[in-house]
Amino acid sequence: MNNMQRTHYCGQLTEDIIGQTVTLQGWVQKRRDLGGLIFIDLRDRAGIVQIVFNPDFSKEALEIAESIRSEFVIEVQGKVVEREEKQKNDKLQTGSIEIHVENIKIINEAKTPPFIIEDETDVNEEIRLKYRYLDLRRPQLARVFKMRSDITKTVRNFLDDEGFLEVETPILTKSTPEGARDYLVPSRVNDGEFYALPQSPQLFKQMLMVSGFDRYYQIARCFRDEDLRADRQPEFTQIDMEMSFMSIEDIIELNERLMKKVMKDVKGIDIEIPFDRLPYDEAMARFGSDKPDTRFGMELQDLSEIVKDSSFKVFAGAVESGGQVKAINVIGAADNYSRKDIDALGEFAGRYGAKGLAWLKVDAEGLKGPIAKFFEGETADALINALQAEAGDLLLFVADKKSVVADALGALRLKLAKDLNLIDETQFNFLWVTDWPLFEFSEEDGRYYAAHHPFTMPANVDELESNPSSVKAQAYDLVLNGYELGGGSLRIYKRDIQEKMFKALGFTEEQAREQFGFLLDAFDYGTPPHGGIAFGLDRIVMLLSGSTNLRDTIAFPKTASASDLLTEAPSTVDAAQLTELGISIQSK
Amino acid sequence: MNNMQRTHYCGQLTEDIIGQTVTLQGWVQKRRDLGGLIFIDLRDRAGIVQIVFNPDFSKEALEIAESIRSEFVIEVQGKVVEREEKQKNDKLQTGSIEIHVENIKIINEAKTPPFIIEDETDVNEEIRLKYRYLDLRRPQLARVFKMRSDITKTVRNFLDDEGFLEVETPILTKSTPEGARDYLVPSRVNDGEFYALPQSPQLFKQMLMVSGFDRYYQIARCFRDEDLRADRQPEFTQIDMEMSFMSIEDIIELNERLMKKVMKDVKGIDIEIPFDRLPYDEAMARFGSDKPDTRFGMELQDLSEIVKDSSFKVFAGAVESGGQVKAINVIGAADNYSRKDIDALGEFAGRYGAKGLAWLKVDAEGLKGPIAKFFEGETADALINALQAEAGDLLLFVADKKSVVADALGALRLKLAKDLNLIDETQFNFLWVTDWPLFEFSEEDGRYYAAHHPFTMPANVDELESNPSSVKAQAYDLVLNGYELGGGSLRIYKRDIQEKMFKALGFTEEQAREQFGFLLDAFDYGTPPHGGIAFGLDRIVMLLSGSTNLRDTIAFPKTASASDLLTEAPSTVDAAQLTELGISIQSK
């Protein structure tokens, strides 16, 4: 059953080769029978071409074509012919030609697939994932994976040109409880011991800097055993890099050029560099988010000073107890939102902890609404002024402690922009968020955690012990259209600072030694200053391909319960396998 | 503590920039004090340059230099100056210049390292692995990782140009007991279930072919929980590819061009394509190996016909009971091997199952040695003729069943070639081994196993049931200098053949369904003919870099007991982690 060599991909055929005989191999997208002829749309990776069976070209081929159904794999030979003018199809890349088939061979047959192989599908995602090999035939998905391949190619070539060395780091590595939950792998050889799958190559890439590799990169698989959300997967891919002797400015500049190149090569879009930058505190204050979408305004305005003495106790009380009153101006939206609509917004804000959502509408005469009576005269003018409000605007207020105000108004801002179609979807707004806090305090555990990771260089080392909550990190995140693309930092490269850091995180000396002894030791032997960054490749692909779902960017993704519906992983294993590993299953 | 921007790598400085002021950052390789001056060899990724401290250039810098020791990280500024003629050092890339230092900053200090950072080291490997970050500073190792990065770059660019799409496949996947032992990962969400780390992306890449991706590749991490030998690691990297609608000839041709390009780009060597090919049976017959080193002769000669009626019972008996008598001619080695030496060779052959090693020496008068008396006249002539023996040659015989003869003489052949220095180490002999048996019969288990894997297309499907041991696989291995670089095959793409295959391997229908149901189902929906190949990247790097140890090609390798001595993985974990996973440790 030797096949002929394919001469062209279906989707690549053009008018340039009219008159030539071609050999094509592909899948039957659609068959139409018309006046004794058969027309088939033949599909391969590159696209679709129409092939025609006609007794004048070959009776035998026509007869075989009669038995063909959708998704059969066939091979045809035939002549490339220009279509009659009125038959030309502008929507199809190959729409001005067709193939007159002289020979056909059925290479493999196909049952009727459980869903139609087309871009538009309403079949539920479980079925698509179970038959992922059919789902991936949809041209829309195939395009995403072409783009993914193109993005990594551009990244690799860029970093290679910049002198980065690609180095692979281990997947079977050591568990470090600091951070997200690890996936564990029992060791068969070392009784009672476990490997962990890496949450990132962080410490290995730092070791490479100690080794003098100077510039490292890797498209690295990482793992986190967390409860999954729509934009999380148990395994994900990072564009991971680390470099020595470079300042934050150097690192930011290099990565801006990288992103510019990716956007140009993959999307054909010229973006401006340098990107805007926002200190973390300002991002939180103006957008209520550490990854603001800056494609639209509707910024948060702090009105605490204006309302702190007002007779509206909710506002005055919030300020008095150390909180804030902030608002957003939903321009021109006063008439779009009924009282009921606003109640729904209040409920939405409640999910972010807000106890209520106050509102005012603006008309020619001033503020309107149930709480308007509390704000009159100068206070009303000050509010209108601060919010740059005009007749027809809707003003939404949250009064609460600082973090709740930011979360609730930040989320409302995003929701309203989507609802009101305020976002220019063709825009790509890259933004650096800088000057992060080094620590987060967990009220639950009564201790500090590293906001990024424990290896981030503090901006002010002196206050590590005296005033940890004020210490900033030499860290930076890159944000695109409201999504965190990735983040990085300069790293600690002196032993004494790293020891102080572990201490601030509540490690005993022994704990620090046990978990990170090799890192501390490495600092004793000539460690250069270094820093790096890691980007989420899956998310970049999602944003650049306009996908709405991280799963559409991963060839064989897992569901929210971390299952692969195609292979049915995870699965039970033989008892003998567990015995060899020296583990047993416990009821929880 | 801002650093200056580096202007050059140390190792890249040339006479072209004499007179310029440069800023360098690197490690102190060596310090010499001489007549009030200090000379330091400064090292970075690119190499070494000599920097000179002289009170005439800067008193202050000289004073600081006095405190500097090996492996300190420093930054210097200074002028590039031509060395005096007699001071020039041809052995050093930068040996015709030196830097006259005007400014120096100590960036980080260093304790005396546990071993000297030089190519030649006699420190034991455990110490090197524990301090891997120092070991990787040795220029020899740094060169290997540069080559590794270059090889993957060449491979990627080549495959990309050939229309291959890079696709990532899962690391958390399903356990399939057929094959090597899996590493397992307990699932926290799905009680009592486990993921397995992939031994290869085999089934996923086949699924991509079903999806019409047409040409796939990946530099893929793979895992096998096997007892380790010198050339095995628990995790290793494959250059993995799969393609549709291609014949064995197409696949071989493409991969020959790939290897030619790698050899040219990375080693600067032009190799001839097409490569030689040997059917498996012939490789075993002539070289006693399925991955023969063809850089030298000393082929195995079958003498069974000549000696079957001889009075030497060992030989005659072996043939009579269905075995063989074969020999190698160690040309001109008769005088090099005493009786005691030959006894040692016999002991070596014994490790491969040979019950004895018979020998003859040839001198001007004919055969000599204890068994010469059994072979006289025509038989002696026939032996001499068959082995093309001449005076001074040593003939070594093994009489046993076929597999033992091949193993023992094949191993002896390699050992003798090394001992006698018969191998031209500058040669790169690529060789395809083809026409593999589809099955191996396990006497222990009383069943057939797939010689490659159960998805390999048989050459003669008809005999799958009637005569499995005679069925050949449409498989091919690429061998370089006696090492298997990789292997591949055409795959089964019809459901009925795959079902027959599983049956031949002793699977019940239910077992086949449970483990490979998704594969069988996929064959129902239009699967194209496809095939592929996978190469061991670590091994390619080892052979091309002239390393003698697979660990030297992996940045952070594991020991024979699968431990990482740097991070001390695997390790014990918190009881809470195990509880969450629903597993407990059992004593074995």
Angle at B255 between CA B251 and CA B257, to 5 degrees: 125
- The answer to whether residues B375 and B238 belong to one domain is no
Nearest partner of A485 among A549, A415, A432, judged by Cα: A432
Q: What's residue A535's pLDDT?
A: 98
Bridge-based pairing state of the strands A366-368 and A439-442: unpaired
If phi > 0 it is left, if psi is from -120 to 50 it is alpha, else beta; for residue B104 that is: beta
Q: Which residues of B touch A526 (CB under 8 A)?
A: 27, 71-73, 108-110
Of A208, A235, A567, the CB nearest to B518: A567
Both B310 and B222 in a single domain?
no
For testing contact with chain A, the best of B107, B184, B209 (most A CBs within 10 A)? B184
Chain-centroid distance of CA B572 in Å reads 32
Name every chain A residue with its beta carbon within 8 A of the beta carbon of B203: 567
CATH of the domain at B208: 3.30.930.10
**Number of neighbouring beta carbons within 10 Å of residue A1:** 6
pLDDT (0 to 100) of residue B1: 40
The answer on whether B178 is annotated among ligand-binding residues is yes
Look up the pTM and report it.
Answer: 0.95
Residues B138 and B272 in one domain: yes
Is the previous residue joined to B570 through a cis bond, with omega within 30 degrees of 0? yes
Q: Does B363 touch chain A (CB under 8 A)?
A: no
Stretch 118-137 of chain B: residues touching chain A, C-beta under 8 Å: 131-137
A322: left (phi over 0), alpha (psi -120 to 50) or beta: left
Chain A contact present for B462, CB below 8 A: no
- Is residue B98 annotated as involved in ligand binding? no
| Range of the structural domain that residue A336 is part of | 296-420
Chain B nearest-CA residue for A459: B1
Is the CB of residue A453 less than 8 Å from the CB of residue A502? no
Name which of A125, A557, A140 is nearest B167 in CA terms. A557
Q: Is residue A455 part of a domain?
A: no
**A42 and A172 share a domain?**
no
* A172 domain-assigned: yes
In this structure, is residue B46 part of a structural domain? yes
| B493 lies within 8 A of chain A by CB | yes
A266 and A305 housed in the same domain: no
Q: Is residue B162 part of a domain?
A: yes
Helix or strand or coil: residue B532?
strand
The closest CB to that of B173, out of A113, A135, A564, belongs to A564
Provide the domain count of chain A.
3
Question: Cβ contacts (< 8 Å) between B132 and chain A: which residues?
Answer: 207, 211
Give the pLDDT score at A447: 86
Low-confidence ranges of chain B (pLDDT < 70): 1-3, 230-231, 588
Task: Judge whether A234 is closer than 8 Å to chain B, CB to CB.
Answer: yes
- Residue B536 in marked binding region: yes
Q: Are residues A270 and A310 in the same domain?
A: no
Sign of CA dihedral A505, A510, A516, A522: positive
Nearest-by-Cβ selection for A174 from B71, B494, B571: B571
Determine if residue B491 is labeled as part of a ligand binding site: yes
Minimal C-alpha gap between B144 and chain A (Å) = 11
Q: List, in order, residues 6 or more apart from B176 with CB less than 8 Å away.
A: B182, B196, B515, B516
**Mean pLDDT computed over A110-127:** 90
Q: Of B383, B402, B420, which one is at a domain's C-terminal end?
A: B420
Residues A270 and A307 reside in one and the same domain: no
Angstroms from A46 CA to nearest CA on chain B: 9
Name A443's bridge partners: none
Residue B563 falls inside a structural domain: yes
CB atoms within 10 A of CB A363: 13
Residue B284 lies in a domain: no
CATH number, domain containing residue A411 = 3.30.1360.30
d(CA A190, CA A206): 27
Q: Among residues B61, B93, B108, which one ends one of the domains?
A: B108
- Name the nearest CA neighbour of A251 among A53, A445, A534: A534
Q: What local confidence, expressed as pLDDT, does residue A2 receive? A: 54
A441 touches chain B (CB under 8 A): no
Do both B145 and B268 map to the same domain? yes
Average pLDDT of chain A? 95
* Contact (CB<8Å) A566/B223: no
Same domain for A209 and A102?
A: no
In B, minimum Cα distance to A130 occurs at B518
Same domain, B97 and B155: no
Instruction: Please answer yes or no on whether B133 and A25 come within 8 Å at the CB atom.
Output: no
In this structure, is residue B15 part of a structural domain? no
pLDDT at position A1: 40
**Domain match, B88 and B177 both:** no
The answer to whether the annotation marks B510 as part of a ligand binding site is no
Residue B192 sits at the chain A interface (C-beta within 8 Å): yes
Instruction: Judge whether B574 is closer than 8 Å to chain A, CB to CB.
Output: yes
Q: Look up the CATH number of the domain holding residue A84.
A: 2.40.50.140
Question: Looking at residue A3, what is its pLDDT?
Answer: 65
Binding-site residues of A for L-aspartate, please? 178, 224, 452, 491
Choice among A3-7, A20-24, A111-115, B297-301 with the minimum mean pLDDT:
A3-7
For residue B493 the two structure tokens come to 């793409």
Question: Are residues A356 and A269 located together in one domain of the fold?
Answer: no
- Stated as kind and residue range, the H or E segment containing B277 is strand B276-279
Q: Which of B53, B76, B108 is the last residue of a domain?
A: B108
Q: What percent of chain A has pLDDT over 90?
A: 89
Taking only the tens place, the pLDDT of each residue in B167-203 is 999 999 998 877 789 999 999 999 999 999 999 999 9
DSSP secondary structure, A571-586, as one string: B---HHHHHHHTEEE-
- Under 8 Å between Cβ of B528 and B244: yes
Task: Name the residue in chain B with its Cα closest to that of A583.
Answer: B585
pLDDT computed for residue A227 by the predictor: 84
- pLDDT for A201: 96
How many C-beta neighbours within 10 Å does residue A514 have?
Answer: 12
